[in-house]
Amino acid sequence: MSAAPTDLTSDMAAIAEHHEEGIRLHREGGFTEEEWSEHQRITYTALMVLVLNAKAHAGGSSRIHVDAPRNALVMA
């Protein structure tokens, strides 16, 4: 029996939404520089975990990468 497919698109969208909300708050002065740095660390850590989970789900395929210009996770 195989595992259920991972919904990478909605996970990526949630991370992108979190990041965009942080950018908005940062522009409005809602974060100190330290808080902004922490927000960035959380966002990028979530992205790395998503990629590692996707790789594990795909059997460790090295053909999974983040297409940074479009903020999309691509499984080739």
Prediction pTM value: 0.61
Structure-block tokens of residue 59: 């059997």
Least confident window among 10-19, 47-56, 60-69: 60-69
Angle, CA 71 vertex, CA 69 and CA 73 arms, to 5°: 115
**Percentage, residues of the chain above pLDDT 70:** 68
What sign for the dihedral angle of Cα 40, 9, 56, 58?
A: negative
